[in-house]
Amino acid sequence: MENRRFPPERSTESSSHNEAVMARPYWSGQIQISLVSFGVKLFVATESKSEIRFHQISRSTGERVRHQKVLASSLEDNPGEAANPVEKDEIVKGYEYRKGEYIIIEPKELEQLRVPSKHSISVTQFVGLDELGPEYMEKPYFIVPEDDVQAEAFAVVRAALKKTKKAALGKIAFGGREHVFAITAAEDDKLGGMMGYTMRYQEELRDPAEYFKDIKKVAVNTDSLELAMELIKRKAAKFSPAEFKDGYEAAVRELVEAKIKHAPIPQDEAVVPSRAQVVNLMDALRKSVGENEAPRKTAAGKKPSGSVKPSKSEMGIALVKPAKASSSKRKSA
């Protein structure tokens, strides 16, 4: 089957409306699993929704600054003079094999590279979904059958991935490199699609030991652990992506609108330390559980089994000092 590749993804500055109207596959080819193969199309699953964009302008004149590509020799020989820009069709890729010496790589030569994964994703193994660490996941893609003829094989493989809770791993080449590619069944069975994720190679990830090696090893207190688990349980909720908004962009918009209207510029507020001093971790956990929503009740009005017994702080009584203060109280009694 002929592979149909398209130019690299458009700049994030492109209109999301145009992307929706001009939706086209980012990659087309085959998924190959042993002797089973079927045609698919990949679509980029993300787009930029930011509406605040900046241009570079001259502080003194207010004019927009534009960048031009010029010969390095023009700047070196005549640093004070404006250099003539190099035309776009004159610019090609070059590899520096010796200091200051390059070999030219033509676009057609790159297109003709012998890389099988340009045309087909050959699945080499299946792994459990829980084995795919989030640190390896890079960018998501929607996968759809190429046409109605491919729909049956597509649906069978999707259902099998869903039932077994597995992801198919293979390789795919686009964007100037070969990627490890994970294929999973999309969550919504009504839509019947699959998701693909480009993944990072092991050597691209920094060694976590270099960053975690100095963490002090401490014993976890059982009571503290139970309180922390109770706090997590009370704050647990179903993931709703739509509830999360970009607060930074909202603040930038507020700044821009203030400057347009010549209004006072909003500024970050200084963080004021809380007056309530945390005595220790246990008290902080107790207070967090106490200030959170009231313990959930069953239909009969009883607390669910396994819940942590409320402390005095949970019942609205002030935090007690640790053992030192309580012992002095006993002596005075």
Looking at the structure, tell me whether residues 243 and 279 fall in a common domain.
yes
What share of the chain has pLDDT > 90, as a percent? 53
Q: Which domain holds residue 21?
A: 4-49+112-204
Let me know if residue 95 belongs to a domain.
no
230 close to 305: Cβ distance less than 8 angstroms:
no
- Distance, in Å, from the CA atom of 283 to the CA atom of 277, rounded to the nearest integer, reads 10
- Distance, in Å, from the CA atom of 57 to the CA atom of 331, rounded to the nearest integer, reads 74
31 close to 157: Cβ distance less than 8 angstroms:
yes
Let me know if residue 70 belongs to a domain.
no
* Chain CA centroid to CA 47, Å: 12
Looking at the structure, tell me whether residues 8 and 149 fall in a common domain.
yes
Looking at the structure, tell me whether residues 24 and 164 fall in a common domain.
yes
Quick check: helix, strand or coil at residue 17? helix
Average pLDDT for 83-91: 88
How many domains does one find in the chain? 2
Q: Could you tell me the two tokens for 226?
A: 């139970």
Let me know if residue 55 belongs to a domain.
no
CA distances from 89 to 10, 107, 122 (A): 19, 11, 36
CATH number, domain containing residue 148: 2.40.290.10
Looking at the structure, tell me whether residues 231 and 314 fall in a common domain.
yes
Looking at the structure, tell me whether residues 155 and 253 fall in a common domain.
no
- The domain boundary, picked from 148, 175, 204, lies at 204
Let me know if residue 262 belongs to a domain.
yes
Looking at the structure, tell me whether residues 242 and 317 fall in a common domain.
yes
Query: What's the pTM?
Result: 0.71
Let me know if residue 272 belongs to a domain.
yes
Looking at the structure, tell me whether residues 136 and 27 fall in a common domain.
yes
Give pLDDT tens digits for 233-262. 999 999 898 888 888 888 888 899 998 999
Give pLDDT tens digits for 93-114. 999 999 989 999 998 998 888 8
- Distance, in Å, from the CA atom of 185 to the CA atom of 165, rounded to the nearest integer, reads 9
Looking at the structure, tell me whether residues 177 and 315 fall in a common domain.
no
Looking at the structure, tell me whether residues 288 and 231 fall in a common domain.
yes
Give pLDDT tens digits for 154-212. 999 999 999 999 999 999 999 989 999 999 999 999 999 999 999 999 999 999 999 99
Give pLDDT tens digits for 43-63. 999 988 777 889 999 999 999
Q: Which amino acid is at 273?
A: P
- Distance, in Å, from the CA atom of 42 to the CA atom of 46, rounded to the nearest integer, reads 12
- The domain boundary, picked from 204, 238, 264, lies at 204
Give pLDDT tens digits for 263-322. 988 888 877 766 555 458 888 888 888 865 554 444 444 444 444 444 433 333 333 334
Let me know if residue 309 belongs to a domain.
yes
Let me know if residue 165 belongs to a domain.
yes
Looking at the structure, tell me whether residues 314 and 176 fall in a common domain.
no
- Distance, in Å, from the CA atom of 106 to the CA atom of 109, rounded to the nearest integer, reads 5
DSSP string over 135-201: GGEEEEEEEEESSGGGHHHHHHHHHHHHHHTEEEEEEEEETTEEEEEEEEE-S-TTTT-EEEEEE--
- The domain boundary, picked from 204, 238, 258, lies at 204
- Distance, in Å, from the CA atom of 245 to the CA atom of 252, rounded to the nearest integer, reads 13
Q: Could you tell me the two tokens for 247?
A: 């607060």
Looking at the structure, tell me whether residues 150 and 13 fall in a common domain.
yes
Let me know if residue 54 belongs to a domain.
no
- Distance, in Å, from the CA atom of 166 to the CA atom of 183, rounded to the nearest integer, reads 9
What share of the chain has pLDDT > 70, as a percent? 78
Which pLDDT score, from 0 to 100, does residue 328 have? 43
How do strand 177-185 and strand 166-174 relate by DSSP bridges?
Answer: antiparallel
Contacts of 114 (CB under 8 A, 6+ apart): none
Looking at the structure, tell me whether residues 36 and 182 fall in a common domain.
yes
